[in-house]
């Protein structure tokens, strides 16, 4: 089961600021709800885990992340992530290409293309949820990312963003309200999704 | 198909349940009818460390009328809803929908509260209670609060309920005037989840639609109200052209997930068709 | 509808009467004894670690965390089975299959490790503790892509092998090519035929899905060196032979018992990794090991059916008389060829594909291919691949009818084999034993007022409504089978019956078949009752215990009545022959002077001189004249001279909601001719059940996969199972054309309704669109699929 | 997790058993009380083979915890007959050939038993809907409907 997600997210900050968050996997991982880097096994290889909680469903995926390309001149980063859940009954992988592009009025735009593949029990029985969950995760990721970039800036907006970063929930489920607001909004404005 | 182990708690009161919930926090899960949660636990998608069974709390069961409001305890089973004379008279939409949920055995266990709190877009009662203009009563350690059904569902399996809260009752305004309602559900077979379903409740006044609510099941990440359709019909005599307008709005409000039951196009089209049928039936029942 | 003869109360409850079932008493009181009901002293429980991916290498398995879990006794992997040479096992189709993943996995939910623990709760916990690392490989789930040049190699163990069990392999994912008929002659007819039609017709992957899943309890007695296995098997004797071959334990020390079985429908023919692992576990631990599938495992891993992708072509004249049939099939067998067919028939009896029609020339080719899906390919409530064949020809007859503007019933009548042509040899080599197709079809058309229905349909069409009338006629080929054609692993497909008449006149009969709900304890007793005059109530039937029953190949392919039933009748006749001699001695007359009357031998010229079977039975255990041995018993091993060929005419009427695509079966009429009718009540029940299964297949069932090999219908949440509400009222009817070669003229009926039902329902759905030029729609005809057709035609506007 | 001691009355007989909280009621009935008449067919509460009568209501015992049955009155197929006399539902299943392999039969009959308490004179449609939580793979339901009608007639005549 594959879910393809294409997202664009405008950020009111210079491209270089966004790129500094994007290129640092440790910081980047913190933007992902429930995700963390647990170790570094090579120059561009890391181990990490993601805890996903959807309603009563709770699952912890552990695996490897490989940064397969960093293009400083085009602010583009590519990574492959692979993992399996703790019970060994589901596998998941993600290929992501993300780049920072110049936006309007000195701002920038984060452009992400990802393909998420899910195998095993999650795909067998959770298929109807995967679409929505992937979408939710990415949307939240984008919001967190944006906050981190903004927090590095100055002024009131930066302070507010820093506050949100500090309060950023560890898992997806606790940010229901916020999520509820952004999901429909983002999907209509930026999102297009395709699943197979 | 064996659940992981857990500690079991069977509180006798809401207060006791809330204190257990506060004590065990994130590792606790509330058990109502169990026909969503237990299968998930058996498949090991869910593995709470503490299960707090609400079945022993008598206060959470029963259907009564308080003035113009019907109050349904959250642990009232679907079969109790079907059997209720009060609902048959004052909110027939609810028993009509309950009859279309699962099967007789499941309806003996399945509760209105569980159906709503689970936040599953495929569950029937979220859309139905939305169409019935319901308000949910939540109790938590900080007391009681009321959340309108239209504001409760935030995403797939995401609701406005806080982890330390319990849904205690559902409050529905009793039908007034010339009303008609219908829940029309397209499904592969009896008891199955909706491929698409529409709940409609409307009031006629002098041949015109004075009030209407339309909500859809399993056509978006949550049950959805089709506000644009409601606006279009309100204050009008409902004719075929307006029904068509409502169906178009229902389709526009749909954002379904493709599965074996249908692709996005089919489900979207069925959102329209179920809406047409539900409005027509409601009109017929209202004598319009 | 019952004939006057059937309404008469039979004096011994014998053939032709609708007596109540003898087995019911235990089932209605909760005293059935199914495999999972067993609880042996010291019993432990086994459960599988299964692959979450559909294709990949097993990089590592760490079983230590599971072994450290309290209550866990053992964790078996392929490495543990290797020294015993049990990590792979032979399949019934001449292939081999991994018992536990040996270096790689080839389908999702494949067995990777077997955890044995004190009970199923602990086992379930420990399964999650076994750590397996996989490396994913590209996946094939569509048979049509299996033989593309860049397709991944699914079976590396066969790489480079150009010869399989059934001849040449033309691709690394190719299993076999099976050609039947005269290709050149067929091509020639097509080249010059006035008219040809062709259609791509798939029969989707489905599952037999008995309500009881598969399972076993294996018990090894170390001291005696004896292995006892209780299991859900339709063919316990074959399992005993396979277990002996695999384990090296002499067959005399392997005891297989099939207790009550909660439905089989083909799912319980094969030998599964669970059986092997439980057996190994019980030998290793010296304790009984139980393994019971979950429903998910059942749907995902054991014995699918169909998955045939067919191209059918007919050549005909302008009057619709078929001149030739050409068929090519791509058969998806999954990752291992574990298809349950007679060994020489890799595509089963698919060559019955000329159906009920007198088609002079035909050619069929079947290519079997591997895919990353579960192994199987069983005959789900049909004789081997007969449903697929029947569906193909019944669809093609409609396609031809449509092309010519001839009514579907009429085109069938024009092509039927005529009554006077029987016994009839088809161009693909089968000798049809008996039939009267025109009479059956006529009776069916009249019963439903076919003309009236067509008139109504025309009116409905004028209004834009969608109504379909499905006509289907089928001829089955069942009762495998003659040993000259049929064997499994080299053992001829005979079946057997042993009858012992006790001194007081009651009897016990043991057979090599195994009922899974068909009512053998009743119908076999009826056959013997009629032959021997012993009331069927006094005849005990036993099956399923290899220690007591004579060897038989089991129950599937509607073979119980044609083979087992024949053995019962003939064993009874052997008993009767001896009874005649004893009676003659008792009355001091010559055996030739006696004639049989219901339950006694009567002296021909002296009707008041007689001896009942009861009297004879007692005498059989007393002093007898010289030359007569005591006892009254016999054994028969029956090798049928031919298959039997049940047939039927089915008509289905559907109404389709043109806005939602929902199909409603308004009426279904089934006329079956199964030859001599043993118990009309049971026949009717079999027809009801088979039709309900066919409804499930035609309208909703599919083992669906996504492109990555995830199974999407692995529970009853997603796999369509009709309830009493979706199931219509079935109308049944019959004609009787006895089989000339069967001892009592019976042909078998259990599977006919599944064969004919699918065609009738599918034809009905497609017929609803025939006026729009639609010639075919793929099953299953779900509301969604039908709506797509409606929408494409704009009929929902 | 500590076991819990529960008491329940099954087919009129009191039982005290100690169970893990996660133990499913069907397993308690089948494996601790050796009442193997109720079966497991699907595990996702679709097939109804595990149906038992629980405090006067039909439930699916594979989707209930044994601890939830503390203090409950349960009736299984083994308790349908009384004093050696078959219940009319059991009689009906034999008379009308309402069973074949017998696996769904206990759950089907226990549900039919309750259906006839709820509605002593059901129409064919009401019987079909009333049994919609029980799957049968063998009979095609038609003879099950007849069996229930037989029982309804017999019970109303009594």
What distances in angstroms separate CA B31 from CA A56, B117, B143, C400, one per listed residue?
11, 11, 21, 59
Look at residue C214 in the predicted model and tell me its pLDDT.
Answer: 98
Q: Which of C211, C560, C750 to probe by mutation at the D interface, max D CB count within 10 Å?
A: C211
Look at residue C240 in the predicted model and tell me its pLDDT.
Answer: 96
Q: Report chain C residues whose CB lies below 8 A from the CB of A90.
A: 52
Q: Report A:82-101 residues touching C (Cβ under 8 A).
A: 84, 86-91
Please, which pLDDT band fits residue A32 given cuts at 50, 70 and 90? confident
Residue C633 dihedral angles phi and psi, to the nearest 5°:
-155, 165
ipTM over 0.90: yes
Distance CA C321, CA C357 (A): 10
Stated pTM of the model: 0.96
Q: Is the pLDDT of residue A193 over 90?
A: no
Q: Report D:10-69 residues touching B (Cβ under 8 A).
A: 20-22, 24, 43-45, 48, 51, 54, 57-60, 63-65, 67-68
Per the CB < 8 Å rule, is C52 touching A91?
yes
Q: Is the pLDDT of residue A180 over 80?
A: no
Query: Would you call B51 an interface residue with chain D, using a CB distance cutoff of 8 Å?
Result: yes
Which is catalytic among the residues C381, C395, C412, C611? C381
Distance CA A28, CA A20 (A): 9
- Which member of C53, C130, C132 has the closest CB to residue A119? C53
Q: Report chain D residues whose CB lies below 8 A from the CB of C672.
A: none
Per the CB < 8 Å rule, is A88 touching C52?
yes
Classify strands B28-31 and B50-53 as parallel, antiparallel or unpaired: parallel
Please, which pLDDT band fits residue A181 given cuts at 50, 70 and 90? very low
Look at residue A56 in the predicted model and tell me its pLDDT.
Answer: 80
Binding partners of B (≥3 Cβ pairs within 8 A): A, C, D
Q: Is the pLDDT of residue A164 over 80?
A: yes
Look at residue A4 in the predicted model and tell me its pLDDT.
Answer: 86
- Which member of B3, B34, B39 has the closest CB to residue D22? B3
Look at residue C5 in the predicted model and tell me its pLDDT.
Answer: 44
Q: Tell which residue, C421, C415, C416, has the closest CA to residue C433.
A: C421
Catalytic residue list contains C497: no
The overall average pLDDT reported for chain B is 96
- Which member of D97, D99, D103 has the closest CB to residue C34? D103
Q: In the B/C pair of chains, how many CB contacts fall below 8 A? A: 54
CB-CB neighbours of A184 under 10 Å: 19
Catalytic residue list contains C381: yes
Q: Report chain A residues whose CB lies below 8 A from the CB of B160.
A: 176-177
Please, which pLDDT band fits residue A169 given cuts at 50, 70 and 90? low
Per the CB < 8 Å rule, is D115 touching B104?
yes
Q: Is the pLDDT of residue A130 over 90?
A: no
Please, which pLDDT band fits residue C7 given cuts at 50, 70 and 90? very low
- Higher-pLDDT residue of A51 and A74 is A74
DSSP A60-79: EEEEEEEEEEEETTTTEEEE
| Mean pLDDT confidence for D98-124 | 98
Span of B212-216, C468-472, C714-718, D109-113 with lowest mean pLDDT: C714-718
User: Among all residues of chain C, which has the CA nearest to that of D43?
Assistant: C295
Q: Report chain A residues whose CB lies below 8 A from the CB of C719.
A: none
Summarize pLDDT for B159-190 with one digit per residue, the tens. Answer: 999 989 999 999 999 988 889 999 999 999 99
- Which member of C718, C725, C791 has the closest CB to residue B190? C725
Span of A182-196, B76-90, C548-562 with lowest mean pLDDT: A182-196
Please, which pLDDT band fits residue C151 given cuts at 50, 70 and 90? very high
What are the tokens at B139? Answer: 């109790």
The overall average pLDDT reported for chain D is 97
Look at residue A178 in the predicted model and tell me its pLDDT.
Answer: 41
Q: Is the pLDDT of residue C6 over 80?
A: no
The structure tokens 């599964």 sit at C272
Q: In the B/D pair of chains, how many CB contacts fall below 8 A? A: 85
Summarize pLDDT for C219-259 with one digit per residue, the tens. Answer: 999 999 999 999 999 999 999 999 999 889 999 999 999 99
Query: Would you call D46 an interface residue with chain C, using a CB distance cutoff of 8 Å?
Result: yes
User: Among all residues of chain D, which has the CA nearest to that of B110?
Assistant: D59
Q: Is the pLDDT of residue C393 over 80?
A: yes
Q: Write the DSSP symbol of residue C29.
A: T
Look at residue C481 in the predicted model and tell me its pLDDT.
Answer: 82
In contact, C511 and C495? CB cutoff 8 Å: yes
Query: Would you call A196 an interface residue with chain C, using a CB distance cutoff of 8 Å?
Result: yes
Please, which pLDDT band fits residue A170 given cuts at 50, 70 and 90? low
Which of A42-56, A143-157, C450-464 tops mean pLDDT? C450-464
| Mean pLDDT confidence for C352-378 | 97
Q: Tell which residue, D10, D62, D14, has the closest CA to residue D40.
A: D62
What are the tokens at C299? Answer: 């749907």
Span of C37-41, C101-105, C377-381, C407-411 with lowest mean pLDDT: C377-381
Distance CA A145, CA A27 (A): 9
Per the CB < 8 Å rule, is B108 touching D51?
no
- Which member of C121, C660, C726 has the closest CB to residue B2? C121
- Higher-pLDDT residue of C416 and A191 is C416
Q: Which of C294, C660, C661 to probe by mutation at the B interface, max B CB count within 10 Å?
A: C660
Q: Is B17 helix (H, G, I), strand (E, B) or coil?
A: helix
Distance CA C586, CA C736 (A): 39
Classify strands C195-206 and A45-54 as parallel, antiparallel or unpaired: unpaired
- Higher-pLDDT residue of B72 and C382 is B72
Percent of chain C beyond pLDDT 70?
A: 99
Summarize pLDDT for C700-748 with one digit per residue, the tens. Answer: 999 999 999 999 999 999 999 999 999 999 999 999 999 999 999 999 9
The structure tokens 């409804």 sit at C695
Look at residue A137 in the predicted model and tell me its pLDDT.
Answer: 77
- Which member of C662, C784, C791 has the closest CB to residue B261? C784
Q: Tell which residue, B173, B166, B161, B160, has the closest CA to residue B131.
A: B173
User: Among all residues of chain B, which has the CA nearest to that of A126?
Assistant: B45
Please, which pLDDT band fits residue A3 given cuts at 50, 70 and 90? confident
What are the tokens at C791? Answer: 């929408």
Per the CB < 8 Å rule, is B190 touching C726?
yes
Span of A56-70, C589-603, C682-696, D117-131 with lowest mean pLDDT: A56-70
Q: Report C:194-213 residues touching D (Cβ under 8 A).
A: 209-213
| Mean pLDDT confidence for B126-155 | 96
- Higher-pLDDT residue of C7 and A53 is A53
Per the CB < 8 Å rule, is A176 touching B160?
yes
In angstroms, the separation between the Cα of residue C784 and the nearest Cα of chain B is 5
Catalytic residue list contains C43: no
Please, which pLDDT band fits residue C198 given cuts at 50, 70 and 90? very high
Summarize pLDDT for C548-587 with one digit per residue, the tens. Answer: 999 999 999 889 999 999 999 999 999 999 999 999 999 9
Catalytic residue list contains C234: yes
In angstroms, the separation between the Cα of residue A133 and the nearest Cα of chain B is 8
How many Å separate Cα C149 from the centre of its chain?
Answer: 35
Q: Is the pLDDT of residue C401 over 70?
A: yes
Summarize pLDDT for B97-126 with one digit per residue, the tens. Answer: 999 999 999 999 999 999 999 999 999 999
Summarize pLDDT for C103-113 with one digit per residue, the tens. Answer: 999 999 999 99
The structure tokens 């997806």 sit at A172
The overall average pLDDT reported for chain C is 96
Which is catalytic among the residues C109, C234, C457, C789? C234
Per the CB < 8 Å rule, is C722 touching B189?
yes
Distance CA A11, CA A102 (A): 10
Per the CB < 8 Å rule, is C52 touching A125?
no
Look at residue B26 in the predicted model and tell me its pLDDT.
Answer: 83
Per the CB < 8 Å rule, is A55 touching B120?
yes
Q: Which residues contact residue C500 at a Cβ distance below 8 angstroms, ignoring those fewer than 6 apart? A: C507, C508, C509, C631, C632, C633
Q: Is the pLDDT of residue C783 over 60?
A: yes
- Which member of B1, B103, B189 has the closest CB to residue C720? B189
Summarize pLDDT for C747-776 with one digit per residue, the tens. Answer: 999 999 999 999 999 999 999 999 999 999
């Amino acid at each position: 089961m594959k879910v393809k997600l294409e997202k664009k997210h405008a950020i009111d900050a210079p491209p270089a600021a966004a790129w500094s968050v994007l290129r640092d996997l440790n910081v980047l991982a913190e933007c992902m709800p429930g995700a963390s880097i647990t170790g570094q096994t090579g120059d561009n290889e890391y181990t990490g885990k993601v805890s996903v909680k959807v309603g009563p469903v709770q699952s912890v995926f552990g695996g490897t992340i490989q940064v397969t390309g960093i293009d400083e001149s085009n602010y583009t980063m590519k990574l492959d992530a692979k993992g399996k859940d703790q019970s060994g009954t589901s596998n998941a992988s993600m290929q992501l290409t993300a780049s920072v592009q110049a936006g309007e009025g000195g701002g920038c735009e984060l452009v992400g293309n990802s393909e998420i593949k899910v195998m095993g029990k999650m795909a067998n029985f959770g298929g109807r949820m995967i679409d929505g969950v992937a979408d939710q995760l990415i949307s939240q990721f984008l919001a967190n990312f944006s906050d981190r970039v903004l927090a590095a800036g100055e002024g009131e907006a930066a302070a507010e963003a820093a506050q949100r970063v500090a309060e950023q929930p560890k898992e997806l489920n606790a940010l229901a309200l916020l999520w509820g607001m952004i999901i429909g909004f983002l999907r209509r404005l930026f999102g297009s999704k395709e699943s197979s | 198909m064996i659940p992981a182990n857990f500690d079991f708690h069977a509180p006798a009161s809401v207060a006791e349940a809330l204190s257990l919930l506060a004590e065990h926090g994130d590792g606790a899960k509330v058990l109502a009818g169990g026909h969503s949660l237990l299968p998930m636990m058996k498949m090991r998608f869910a593995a709470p460390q503490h299960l707090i069974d609400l079945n022993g709390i008598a206060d959470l069961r029963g259907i009564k009328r308080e003035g113009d409001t019907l109050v349904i305890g959250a642990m009232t089973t679907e079969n109790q809803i079907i059997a209720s004379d009060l609902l048959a008279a004052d909110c027939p939409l609810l028993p009509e929908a309950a009859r279309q949920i699962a099967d007789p055995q499941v309806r003996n266990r399945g509760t209105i509260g569980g159906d709503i709190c689970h936040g599953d877009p495929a569950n029937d009662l979220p859309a139905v209670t939305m169409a019935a203009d319901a308000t949910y009563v939540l109790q938590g350690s900080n007391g009681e609060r009321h959340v309108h059904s239209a504001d409760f569902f935030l995403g797939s399996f995401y609701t406005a309920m806080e982890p330390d809260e319990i849904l205690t009752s559902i409050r529905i305004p009793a039908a007034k005037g010339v009303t008609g309602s219908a829940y029309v559900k397209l499904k592969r077979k009896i008891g199955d989840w909706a491929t698409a379903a529409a709940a409609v409740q409307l009031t006629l006044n002098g041949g015109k639609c004075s009030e209407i609510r339309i909500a859809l099941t399993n056509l978006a990440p949550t049950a959805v109200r089709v506000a644009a359709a409601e606006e279009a019909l309100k204050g009008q005599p409902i004719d075929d052209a307006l029904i068509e307008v409502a169906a178009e709005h229902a389709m526009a409000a749909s954002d379904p997930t493709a599965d074996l039951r249908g692709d996005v196009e089919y489900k979207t089209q069925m959102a329209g068709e179920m809406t047409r049928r539900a409005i027509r039936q409601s009109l017929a029942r209202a004598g319009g | 509808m019952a004939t006057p003869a059937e309404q008469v109360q039979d004096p011994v409850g014998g053939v032709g009467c609708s007596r109540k079932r003898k087995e019911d008493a235990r089932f209605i009181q909760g005293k059935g004894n199914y495999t999972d009901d067993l609880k042996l002293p010291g019993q432990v429980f086994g459960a599988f670690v299964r692959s979450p991916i559909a294709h990949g290498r097993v990089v590592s398995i760490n079983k230590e965390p599971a072994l450290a879990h309290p209550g866990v006794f053992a964790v078996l992997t392929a490495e543990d089975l290797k020294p015993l040479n049990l990590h792979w096992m032979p399949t019934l189709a001449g292939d081999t299959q991994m018992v536990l993943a040996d270096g790689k996995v080839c389908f999702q939910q494949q067995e990777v490790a077997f955890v044995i623990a004190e009970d199923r709760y602990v086992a379930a916990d420990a399964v999650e503790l076994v750590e397996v690392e996989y490396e994913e490989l590209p996946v094939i789930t569509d048979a049509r892509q299996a033989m593309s040049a860049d397709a991944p190699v699914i079976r590396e163990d066969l790489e480079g092998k150009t010869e399989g069990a059934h001849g040449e392999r033309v691709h690394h994912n190719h299993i076999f090519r099976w050609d039947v008929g005269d290709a050149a002659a067929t091509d020639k007819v097509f080249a010059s035929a006035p008219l040809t039609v062709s259609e791509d017709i798939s029969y989707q992957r489905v599952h037999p899905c008995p309500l009881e899943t598969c399972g076993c309890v294996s018990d090894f007695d170390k001291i005696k060196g004896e292995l006892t296995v209780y299991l859900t098997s339709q063919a316990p004797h074959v399992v005993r032979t396979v277990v002996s071959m695999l384990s090296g334990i002499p067959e005399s020390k392997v005891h297989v018992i099939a207790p009550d079985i909660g439905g089989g429908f083909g799912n319980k023919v094969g030998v599964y990794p669970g059986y092997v692992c439980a057996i190994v576990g019980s030998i290793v631990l010296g304790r009984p090991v139980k393994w019971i599938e979950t429903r998910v495992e059942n749907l995902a891993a054991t014995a699918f059916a169909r998955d045939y992708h067919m191209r059918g072509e007919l050549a005909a004249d302008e009057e619709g008389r078929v001149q030739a049939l050409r068929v090519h099939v791509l058969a998806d067998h999954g990752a291992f060829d574990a298809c349950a067919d007679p060994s020489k028939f890799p595509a089963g009896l698919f060559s019955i594909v000329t159906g009920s029609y007198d088609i002079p020339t035909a050619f069929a080719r079947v290519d079997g291919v591997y895919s990353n899906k579960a192994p199987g390919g069983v005959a789900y409530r049909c004789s081997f691949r007969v449903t697929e064949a029947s569906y193909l020809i019944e669809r093609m007859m409609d396609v031809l009818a449509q092309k010519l503007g001839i009514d579907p019933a009429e085109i069938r009548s024009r092509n039927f084999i005529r009554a006077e042509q029987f016994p009839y040899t088809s161009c693909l080599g089968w000798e049809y034993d008996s039939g009267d197709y025109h009479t059956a079809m006529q009776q069916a058309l009249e019963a439903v007022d076919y003309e009236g229905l067509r008139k109504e349909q025309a009116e409905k069409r004028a209004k834009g409504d969608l109504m379909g009338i499905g006509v289907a006629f089928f001829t089955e080929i069942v009762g495998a089978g003659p040993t000259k054609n049929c064997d499994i692993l080299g053992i001829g497909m005979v079946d057997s019956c042993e009858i012992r008449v006790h001194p007081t006149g009651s009897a016990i009969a043991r057979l090599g078949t195994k009922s899974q709900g068909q009512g053998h304890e009743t119908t076999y007793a009826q056959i013997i009752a009629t032959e021997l005059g012993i009331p069927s109530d006094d005849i005990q039937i036993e099956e399923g215990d290899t220690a007591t029953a004579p060897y038989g190949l089991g129950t599937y392919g509607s073979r119980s009545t044609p083979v087992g039933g024949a053995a019962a009748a003939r064993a009874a006749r052997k008993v009767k022959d001896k009874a005649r001699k004893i009676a003659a001695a008792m009355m001091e007359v010559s055996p030739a002077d006696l004639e049989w009357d219901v339950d006694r031998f009567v002296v021909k010229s002296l009707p008041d001189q007689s001896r009942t079977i009861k009297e004879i039975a007692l005498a059989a255990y007393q002093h007898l004249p010289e030359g007569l041995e005591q006892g009254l018993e016999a054994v028969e091993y029956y090798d049928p001279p031919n298959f039997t060929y049940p047939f039927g005419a089915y008509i289905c009427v559907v109404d389709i909601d043109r806005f939602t695509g929902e199909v409603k079966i308004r009426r279904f009429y089934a006329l079956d001719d199964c030859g001599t009718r043993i118990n009309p009540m049971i026949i009717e029940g079999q027809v009801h059940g088979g039709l309900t299964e066919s409804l499930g297949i035609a309208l909703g069932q599919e083992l669906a996969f996504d492109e990555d090999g995830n199974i999407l219908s692995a529970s009853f949440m997603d796999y369509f199972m009709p309830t009493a509400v979706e199931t219509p009222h079935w109308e049944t009817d019959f004609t009787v054309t006895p089989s000339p070669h069967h001892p009592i003229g019976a042909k078998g009926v259990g599977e006919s309704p599944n064969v004919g039902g699918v065609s009738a329902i599918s034809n009905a759905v497609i017929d609803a669109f025939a006026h729009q030029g639609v010639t075919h729609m793929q099953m299953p005809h779900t509301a969604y699929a039908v709506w797509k057709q409606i929408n494409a035609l704009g009929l929902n506007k | 997790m500590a076991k819990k001691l529960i008491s329940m009355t099954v087919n009129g007989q009191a039982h005290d058993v100690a169970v893990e909280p996660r133990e499913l009621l069907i397993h308690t009935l089948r494996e601790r009380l050796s009442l193997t008449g109720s079966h497991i067919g699907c595990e996702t509460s679709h097939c109804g083979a595990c149906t038992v009568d629980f405090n006067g209501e039909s439930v699916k015992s594979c989707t209930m915890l044994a601890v939830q049955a503390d203090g409950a009155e349960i009736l299984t197929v083994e308790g349908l007959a009384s004093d050696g006399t078959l219940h009319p539902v059991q009689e009906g299943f034999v008379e009308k050939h309402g069973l074949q392999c017998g696996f769904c039969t206990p759950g089907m009959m226990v549900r039919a038993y309750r259906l006839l308490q709820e509605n002593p004179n059901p129409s064919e449609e009401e019987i079909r809907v009333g049994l919609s939580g029980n799957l049968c793979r063998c009979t095609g339901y038609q003879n099950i409907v007849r069996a229930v009608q037989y029982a309804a007639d017999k019970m109303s005549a009594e």
